[in-house]
Amino acid sequence: MASDPSQLQDFCLLPLDAVLVNGFVCKPPMHVTADDFFFSGLDMPGNTSNQLGSKVTQVNVNQIAGLNTLGISLARIDYAPYGLNPPHTHPRATEILTLLEGTLYVGFVTSNTNNGNLLFTKMLKKGDVFVFPEGLIHFQFNYGPTPAVAVAALSSQNPGVITIANAVFGSNPPISDAVLAKAFQVGKDTIKYLQAQFWVDNN
């Protein structure tokens, strides 16, 4: 019930002037080409020279029209030494990550339970695979002094991403400092300081 609907045809490509519904309207099959199922450049490292030291290169329906209705996408994530893909969620997808180079400390937090929010973590080395369940907050951190590279597959053509710090402290317009001060149990000055920061988008 909470995943992309199953397709009823071989493919459904979006036309250039598509109207967004749940997915996109279909391009006439006679106008479809092999390029509609193609993306080039995932072998190129992403630019990690930002405050987080990471870069996510997304390959979803916005890059490959042929992914429309197929319920799958992927991403390449590059990490500088000690780079972080910060806590975030994918509201529409489970993610399975494979580490290609380096080492990563990864983890996710469960939703609210009687036992609290449980944290599951693992240290990954080259060739290891880890799953982040749909909608749960998760992260990856490169503890190593050398760069790391991972590829992630996601169970949606357009999984979405909500970076927690950006959404909470960098929303436009800002969330009321009274709301955030009470939620995080800190003073309004701390909230104002956090809201004044530049929150990096590594996507």
Q: Is 174 helix (H, G, I), strand (E, B) or coil?
A: coil
Q: Is 95 annotated as a binding residue?
A: yes
Residues shown for the chain = 203
Beta bridge partners of residue 129, listed in sequence order? 98
96 alpha-carbon distance from chain centroid: 11
Q: Quote the tokens at residue 90.
A: 């994918």
Q: Check the annotation: does 31 bind a ligand.
A: no
How far apart are alpha carbons 23 and 13 in whole angstroms? 10
Q: Is 90 annotated as a binding residue?
A: yes
- Confirm or deny that 172 is annotated as ligand binding: no
Joined tokens for residue 102 = 């380096």
Binding region for oxalate: 85, 90, 95
Binding region for Mn(2+): 88, 90, 95, 138
Binding region: 85, 88, 90, 95, 138
